[in-house]
Structure 1
């Protein structure tokens, strides 16, 4: 699967994870999505937690987040990627 194709949709997918899949605190991706720990190690940790706990969409989302540079992720995070300020 070509995950780069999903990059333009990442904010929508994060909002879907929060609201439609009822993960208001970021679910197993909490330390990345809510706390802003955007380094590869944090994303891999969260992805592993998703895998261990059957969170397939979270696993997919973590895979997508790994397609971004840390600077790109920081900009998205700073721009309210979870949609709380919309």
Structure 2
């Protein structure tokens, strides 16, 4: 009975996957670091955007309160004019 010492194709592929040199491991680590750096940069950009939108929203809220306050004053002035005109009988 002859036993073949030649590995089968799937065994050869598995052996290739398991054997890595130090340069391949460091290359993978560098690529992973670059990806994580890109993700960290994107999270920082999103954080900056959220802070900007919060400031903008706070500014809009202040302006809205000022407009409603001014509107209330104008309505009160018109109501006073209407009372004066009604008192005159016009």
Name the TM-score class by shorter chain: under 0.3
| Higher relative contact order, structure no. (Cα contacts within 8 Å, ≥ 6 residues apart) | 1
Structure-1-length-normalised TM-score: 0.21
**What is the TM-score when the length of structure 2 is the normalising length?**
0.21
